[in-house]
Amino acid sequence: MPLYHSEDQAMLSDTARGFMADEGNIANGLRHWRDRDCPDGFGHALWKQFAEMGFTGMLLDEADGGLGMGHVEAGIVLEEIGRNLTPSPFLTSSVLAATALKHGSNDLKERYLPGLIEGESVFAVAVDETAKHRPDRITTRAEKSGNGFKLTGAKSFVVQGASADMLIVAARTSGADDDADGITLFAVPKDAANMSHDAVRLVDSSMATHTRFDGVELDGGAVIGEVDGGREVLNAMLAAGRIGTAAEGVGVARGAMDMTIDYIKQRKQFGQVIGEFQALQHRASHLYSEVEIARAVTIKAQQLLDEGAESADLMTSVAKAKVAKAAGLAVKEGVQMHGGIGMTDEYDIGLYMKRDRALQEFLGDAYFHANRVADISGY
């Protein structure tokens, strides 16, 4: 398979680009909801439009009402989301939760997938328990109780937790906190009893929650996959989420870069366009190189995940780390090259910087993933 988009994928890219630029642009998306202090951080009407476009269920099997597409296609949508900073639960619902629910029973799928696909319900994912992404350590416990389970513990920085109807929760059903085995994933309705949610607004205006479980009762039907065998499902979900986050990061990087290149072609100082200065040209060209490479490795990792290749795990971490570095460079150079105006709220470049920071942290930052590259490579 060549390492560029096929004709069908290029068409999807055009569609997604037009849709996001028209319906989910910065003015009517991010700024609109932020300036109204929206408790969800995004508009549900747009989310319904995502469903009408078929985006919400694109990763799900056709038999389950989805489009049966892969991570390359999801990445195409995410790149446009990134470019437009479009607030939506696409990453948590349609990528992370959808990947987990693929491993669920038919009963579970029938119960939850229609709502997800129609854009009626929003899903969030509760894995992290600290301020850093540390999925190897899961202390939230689900004890056997009658025919079901009782969930106790806490999850932090649940992205889209505020607007979610359902949470996918990774909990320990046996073993010690750091064991690989003994994990089970649960589909938990957010309005279940004995649960509390503290909403917190993040730097990029998105909403997350700190969620406590004080003996939340779940029936056996809430289990996704096998009891104690959830690590595999969790890993699949995280891989999908990480490469999805990387794809959105590529969009953020390209959006910030394009804006910046446009700006230095217009801004005049010392009687000339500042883009004529070699000091800026070399940095802009270096940035271009880094962003191109980040995009290439992201598409490579998407293809490998779709093929089920063994190297997908390594390349997903390479991509997540590379995008974090390249997009980080794009937004930092973006603000610097815009000069004073780059520091104003009125100008969009700062919004890219904020979104990038959140994406860098989500599901593991560059250090986490570089360390993972070393671990997987055996050094």
Partner 1 sequence: MSDLENFRLETREWLEANCPAEMRKPVRDDDDVYWGGRRATFKNDAQKAWFEACRDKGYTVPAWPKAYGGAGLSAPEAKILRQEMAAIGARPPLSSFGIWMLGPALLKFGTEGQKQRFLNEIARGEIRWCQGYSEPGSGSDLVSMQTFGEDKGDHWQVNGQKIWTSYADHADWIFCLVRTDKDNKYKGITFMLFDMAGAGVSTKPILLISGNSPFCETFFDDVKVPKSYGEDCPGFVGEINRGWDVAKYLLGHEREMISGMGGGERTAAIGTAMKRHSAKTGDDLDPMLRAELAMFDVDALAFTAMSEKFMDEMKSGKGHPAQPNMMKYVGTELNKRRHELMMSVGGSRSLEWESEETRGGAPSRDWLRTKANSIEGGTSEVMLNVISKRILELPGA
Binding site for partner 1 (CB under 8 A): 2-4, 261, 264-265, 272-273, 275-276, 278, 280-282, 284-286, 288-289, 292-294, 296-297, 299-301, 311, 314-315, 318-319, 321-322, 325, 366, 369-371, 373-374, 377-379
Smallest distance from partner 1 to CB 11, Å: 15
Choice between 153 and 328, CB closer to partner 1: 328
Choice between 171 and 373, CB closer to partner 1: 373
Sole residue written with tokens 């029973």: 105
Smallest distance from partner 1 to CB 283, Å: 9
Choice between 170 and 373, CB closer to partner 1: 373
Choice between 237 and 319, CB closer to partner 1: 319
Phi, then psi, of 5 in degrees rounded to 5: -70, 140
Choice between 137 and 282, CB closer to partner 1: 282
Smallest distance from partner 1 to CB 243, Å: 13
Smallest distance from partner 1 to CB 251, Å: 17
114, 205, 118, 212: which is closest to 158 by C-alpha? 212
Smallest distance from partner 1 to CB 375, Å: 9
Smallest distance from partner 1 to CB 81, Å: 22
Phi, then psi, of 39 in degrees rounded to 5: -70, -20
Choice between 46 and 373, CB closer to partner 1: 373
- The Cα 289–Cα 37 span in angstroms is 38
Smallest distance from partner 1 to CB 281, Å: 4
Smallest distance from partner 1 to CB 295, Å: 8
Choice between 3 and 131, CB closer to partner 1: 3
SS (H, E, C) the chain: CCCCCCHHHHHHHHHHHHHHHHHCCCHHHHHHHHHCCCCCCCCHHHHHHHHHHCCCCCCCCHHHCCCCCCHHHHHHHHHHHHHHCCCCCHHHHHHHHHHHHCCCCHHHHHHHHHHHHHCCCCEEEECCCCCCCCCCCCCCEEEEECCEEEEEEEEEEEECCCCCCEEEEEEECCCCCCCCCCEEEEEEECCCCCEEEEEEECCCCCEEEEEEEEEEEECHHHEECCCCEHHHHHHHHHHHHHHHHHHHHHHHHHHHHHHHHHHHHHCEECCEEHHHCHHHHHHHHHHHHHHHHHHHHHHHHHHHHHHCCCCHHHHHHHHHHHHHHHHHHHHHHHHHHHHHHHHCCCCCHHHHHHHHHHHHHCCCCHHHHHHHHHHHHCC
Choice between 146 and 378, CB closer to partner 1: 378
Smallest distance from partner 1 to CB 257, Å: 9
Smallest distance from partner 1 to CB 258, Å: 10
Q: Is 271 left (phi over 0), alpha (psi -120 to 50) or beta?
A: left
Contact by Cβ (8 Å): 322, 294: yes
Choice between 309 and 343, CB closer to partner 1: 309
Q: What does the longest C-alpha to C-alpha distance in the chain come to?
A: 78
Choice between 137 and 286, CB closer to partner 1: 286
